[in-house]
Chain A
């Protein structure tokens, strides 16, 4: 396959994944805002922006930290090059570029997502229809993923798509952890207050993990448990451990298909074994923030090595 096609499919799936995760993040922020006063919810909206790396852009624009302003900025603002609409457009443009590498269903799902969301996001989103908009974003991400799973050959093209998905997902989960580490590892005084529970639930909700966590922990909530769940629980599909297990497997398929490993495989092997050996106690001892910063940097190094090893760019 062409190096340019590998780039295209990799980014197509990164953008789709990012759009979906953003929808979850907004959904969590929205729910928190419904149950809290203005001060707390504006702090929550701000943390959504920080997670997405958009806080300074938003501040430059002089936006207010209210649900309507933040949601519209993140979803559809033309001055925001990282808006969900821009991501969907980016995914679709890449899909168009790699049209010969994807099946008709995958292309049509992506194209339809773009047509529908472009239409919905042409108008300002109000609180009354925010839920519906976010739902559509998740639904189309699911549709494309399903089309992918059901129709694509399991070859290098498929692997690059999955690699894009999991590099992006790991990055997103790590960012949420970083922004919320003060919630997860609060000062002693706060422990056990009901406020924490709401915030913890928000964290879980933003990675679609609230139900899974409750099911595994029989309804109990504690900060370390949640951090452990998001980082190390290989059963949860948005945990770092899960993403890296998938990356290992997809990179392994590539190595078999191409008859050899690359520098990226070495980096990934180190990262996976690091996650295997880590315990939540160690992570907390070193500092959750430090752990996450290292993880995000290492995740980027791996992505860069993949691009280099597989000739994504000239």
Chain B
């Protein structure tokens, strides 16, 4: 049964035509999608329509769920999976990965600098205030070099596309980026449901990410523990527990790496090392891949009233007894206030022009910018500097007058807490709907591993898609879905 595929609808919020990943402006299928399109045309419509439910059943059974904050306790939800892959050509990927590599190099150099001589401040490229008055900046890290000199062992770079050659960085995730399990499970699901698709297109594999992660983390073990001959470093994944929204991912990665999945209550400082309580006694950990925020790491250092965390872990860390990935204090690099300086930061540390552009941003802390932002609220996206997850933001074009007014009051009260960006014409990629393919806005989060051996970018990533027509919010906590992401071979 052949269906007609028409390019339908474009985003109502902008004058600029939206770039569609699958169809060009004339409605013809782009070369990268030719194989997929031929396959799609040959499928039985009824079968196709049944597949999303089938995928959902598999996800439920396997437990690929996440918990939503603010919902009924312990409720587990699925992130909707869409069966149309997001396809990236080899040429596009080459450029993207060069840009990502450059940016991640700069992020690590920046982190080393802000916790040491702060040359960038001395050079007048970054206001000192942004470091001084910033919760993400940890004075405890000053003067300390993490093992191997690596700050951001795992980075997720959020990219959006606005045109054929226009990829922009929307956000750097340098603390504890999540979503990589979806990259892996989405591929598994695609291969299970439509194996023949992979004979039509040569898609680069992503499945060895856990192995790469394990060896990248092991390569960052503290020198003192590397002396043991022929023994692999002990790696553990630290999770807040089964009620955390990303618990599935924590368990998944630990399982795939063959590492222990620990909670803070399993750990204590023992003999100058951080050790986990095993059935045989206390066992020292060399590398801790932590999926908890800085403030829950060590109550002695960061959050005295808190019972959470491992008392004394920061002392062990600073004495070289453990590697913490990502390093505490990396949040300063993905702070939204710092973000607007990223083009300068990249150039300052690499001596090169940035390959990937930033989204133009107005810093509301600057009077001129604030004035502009206040005058143009209905057309801008305003983001909280210390927020994450899309909770504390305003999307001007889709907000009511009342919502805008309420936000304006917040903005006027604390302008330094906000930056503003134009509403971007994010590219679209088709999704399955009951009435065939329909375009929806997407972003892309590739995953990057950093070790003393270099920067390793997995060819693929997590494509998030706004399932509501015209919506620009792709966050899974706000009703977004995900797609399998293909990077094609040369």
Query: Which residue numbers of A lie inside 8 Å of B, CB to CB?
Result: 1-6, 93, 96-97, 99-100, 104, 107-108, 111-112, 115, 156, 160, 258, 310-311, 314
Listed by A's residue number, 6 A-B pairs whose Cβ atoms lie within 8 Å are: A1-B278, A100-B261, A111-B62, A115-B60, A311-B278, A311-B281
- Whether A93 touches B266, Cβ cut-off 8 Å, given contacts A6-B279, A112-B61, A310-B279, is no
Compute how far the CA of A2 lies from the CA of B281 in the bound complex, rounded to whole angstroms.
Answer: 9
Q: How far is the CB of B465 from chain A (nearest CB, A)?
A: 26
- Whether B61 pairs with A156 at a CB distance below 8 angstroms is no
Q: Annotate B256-285 by CB proximity to A: 1 below 8 A, 0 otherwise.
A: 000111110110000000001111110000
- Whether A311 touches B277, Cβ cut-off 8 Å, given contacts A2-B266, A4-B263, A108-B61, is yes
Q: Which B residues lie within 8 Å of A3 (CB)?
A: 266, 277-279
Q: Which A residues lie within 8 Å of B279 (CB)?
A: 1-3, 6, 156, 160, 258, 310-311
- Whether A2 pairs with B251 at a CB distance below 8 angstroms is no
Not counting A4-B263, A115-B60, A160-B279, a sample of 10 additional A-B residue pairs whose C-beta atoms are within 8 angstroms of each other reads: A1-B278, A5-B260, A6-B279, A97-B242, A99-B251, A100-B251, A100-B261, A108-B62, A112-B61, A311-B278
Nearest B residue to A309 via CB reads B279
- Does B387 lie at the interface of the complex (its beta carbon under 8 Å from any beta carbon of A)? no
- Whether B242 pairs with A111 at a CB distance below 8 angstroms is no
Compute how far the CA of A100 lies from the CA of B256 in the bound complex, rounded to whole angstroms.
Answer: 8
Nearest B residue to A159 via CB reads B279
- Whether A111 pairs with B63 at a CB distance below 8 angstroms is yes
Nearest A residue to B74 via CB reads A93
Nearest B residue to A114 via CB reads B63
Q: Annotate B226-267 by CB proximity to A: 1 below 8 A, 0 otherwise.
A: 000000000000000010000100010011000111110110
Compute how far the CA of A2 lies from the CA of B263 in the bound complex, rounded to whole angstroms.
Answer: 10
Compute how far the CA of A96 lies from the CA of B261 in the bound complex, rounded to whole angstroms.
Answer: 11
Q: How far is the CB of A135 from chain B (nearest CB, A)?
A: 20
Compute how far the CA of A1 lies from the CA of B262 in the bound complex, rounded to whole angstroms.
Answer: 10
Q: How far is the CB of A151 from chain B (nearest CB, A)?
A: 14
Compute how far the CA of A155 lies from the CA of B254 in the bound complex, rounded to whole angstroms.
Answer: 18
Q: Which B residues lie within 8 Å of A108 (CB)?
A: 61-63
Query: Which residue numbers of B lie inside 8 Å of A, CB to CB?
Result: 60-63, 242, 247, 251, 254-255, 259-263, 265-266, 276-281
- Whether A2 pairs with B262 at a CB distance below 8 angstroms is yes
- Whether A93 touches B62, Cβ cut-off 8 Å, given contacts A2-B277, A3-B277, A4-B263, is no
Q: Which A residues lie within 8 Å of B61 (CB)?
A: 108, 111-112, 115
Compute how far the CA of A104 lies from the CA of B61 in the bound complex, rounded to whole angstroms.
Answer: 10
Q: Which A residues lie within 8 Å of B254 (CB)?
A: 100
Q: Which A residues lie within 8 Å of B263 (CB)?
A: 4
- Whether A96 pairs with B63 at a CB distance below 8 angstroms is yes
Nearest A residue to B256 via CB reads A100
- Whether A4 pairs with B63 at a CB distance below 8 angstroms is no
Q: Which A residues lie within 8 Å of B242 (CB)?
A: 93, 96-97
Compute how far the CA of A6 lies from the CA of B276 in the bound complex, rounded to whole angstroms.
Answer: 13
Q: Which A residues lie within 8 Å of B255 (CB)?
A: 99-100
Nearest A residue to B253 via CB reads A100
> Top 3 closest A-B pairs, CB basis?
A99-B251, A310-B279, A100-B255
Compute how far the CA of A111 lies from the CA of B251 in the bound complex, rounded to whole angstroms.
Answer: 15
Q: How far is the CB of B66 from chain A (nearest CB, A)?
A: 13
- Whether A2 pairs with B60 at a CB distance below 8 angstroms is no
Compute how far the CA of A314 lies from the CA of B266 in the bound complex, rounded to whole angstroms.
Answer: 8
**For B260, B263, B278, which residue has the most chain A Cβ atoms within 10 angstroms?**
B278
Compute how far the CA of A256 lies from the CA of B260 in the bound complex, rounded to whole angstroms.
Answer: 22
Nearest A residue to B262 via CB reads A2
Nearest B residue to A156 via CB reads B279
Q: How far is the CB of A112 from chain B (nearest CB, A)?
A: 6
Compute how far the CA of A100 lies from the CA of B239 in the bound complex, rounded to whole angstroms.
Answer: 13
**For A2, A96, A107, A108, which residue has the most chain B Cβ atoms within 10 angstroms?**
A2
Q: How far is the CB of A206 from chain B (nearest CB, A)?
A: 32
Q: Which B residues lie within 8 Å of A311 (CB)?
A: 277-279, 281
Q: Which A residues lie within 8 Å of B266 (CB)?
A: 2-4
Q: How far is the CB of B261 from chain A (nearest CB, A)?
A: 5
Q: Which B residues lie within 8 Å of A258 (CB)?
A: 279-280
Nearest B residue to A110 via CB reads B63
